[in-house]
Structure 1
């Protein structure tokens, strides 16, 4: 799918205002989230798997902004709800949303909209690379806060957990995600430096 990005750059997408490049990027990032959701974790620490799904979840809005990043996560969600086994553990279907971790899937989309808007605002200020990295890491942390807020509410509703119990169940995952945020930011800075016109706000630099 990545090879189609350049060829479709000037093709207007009907009805939604997206260009062909936008649609290709949305599809690529949705596929990236899907792939990293189903591949085995790199390793396990204290019974907590270190998987790379959250890297892609945070990377999409950092690189694509709110609309395209949110669309990529929404596409991933819709594809899984329609039956393709792209959720964690190769699960799928509407029933996943009613599970203990179903709220996190919704949180991915909400967080992408918030973090994408903030990332665009950061790029409009045209910070130098070290400052950009720090500011995007702050955005990634906000992304995590939104994901975990929606996810924990989902656990309280679907699994009948108290707030302290839901937070405690996610404690070790939160620590791992702080590390993954560093990786997502490093990739985002590298991508935006190599392709400065990729994100809408970055185009203003030229």
Structure 2
């Protein structure tokens, strides 16, 4: 195994751990089971710093660790019941953020687009978290679309935009140290 591949695998595990840690930095909201947390910042960074494959793999690892019961999800929770619960679709969406954002970043790099495409790719990836998360929330809680969006998306838009900006800035500063 090459040193480069081993380094990527170690970074993949570290970003899965960072996602678990950032999931605990949260602000519960009294009107929704979905807390504000920093997990998406870790996902954005795993994607922008490790690329599509290892960024996505780090989030699959995070999800699998939680599925087997390790307390990596928000509120130090874990287990299949969390993934099958009202917020489970967002956990699946974490993998989609990494995959979609990573693919868009790779595409934009091949096309020679500017650095500003990073926030656009991350925002697009976030949509792929909101979509399954909100649909699953609606299914589990029997909530209609507008109330579900009011509980699970609208309160998080500003915070997610700030995390996208932060990830874009941090990526520019950290990329040379990770590569």
TM-score (normalised: structure 2) = 0.88
2:166 to 169, 180, 183: 183
Q: CA deviation at 1:58?
A: 1.6
2:120 to 138, 158, 161: 138
Q: CA deviation at 1:152?
A: 0.5
Distance 1:54 1:103, change over 3 A: same
Q: How many residues align?
A: 176
Q: Deviations over 1:41-75 (max 9, x none)?
A: 4x98x999653221112221122221111100000
Q: CA deviation at 1:124?
A: 3.5
The residue number in structure 1 matching 2:133 is 151
Q: CA deviation at 1:162?
A: 1.0
Q: Deviations over 1:90-141 (max 9, x none)?
A: 11000001211110000111221111111122333455xxx31x11010111
Q: Secondary structure at the match of 1:24?
A: helix
The residue number in structure 2 matching 1:16 is none
Q: Name which one, 1 or 2, has greater alpha-carbon Rg.
A: 1
2:38 to 25, 28, 52: 52
Q: Would you tell me which structure has more helix in proportion to its own residues?
A: 2
Q: Secondary structure at the match of 2:60?
A: helix
1:25 to 4, 7, 11: 11
Q: CA deviation at 1:168?
A: 1.1
Structure 2 segments unaligned to the other structure (5+ residues): none
Provide the rounded CA distance (Å) in 1 between the counterparts of 2:174 and 2:167: 10
The residue number in structure 2 matching 1:10 is 2
Provide the rounded CA distance (Å) in 1 between the counterparts of 2:91 and 2:53: 17
Structure 1 segments unaligned to the other structure (5+ residues): 1-8, 13-18, 199-206
Q: Secondary structure at the match of 2:71?
A: coil
Give the alignment's Cα RMSD to 1 decimal: 2.4
CA contact (8 A) 1:64 1:116 kept: no
CA contact (8 A) 2:87 2:133 kept: yes
Matches within 5 A, 1:116-127: 116-126=102-112
Distance 1:113 1:166, change over 3 A: same
Q: Secondary structure at the match of 1:161?
A: coil
The residue number in structure 2 matching 1:162 is 144
Matched, 1:100 2:86: yes
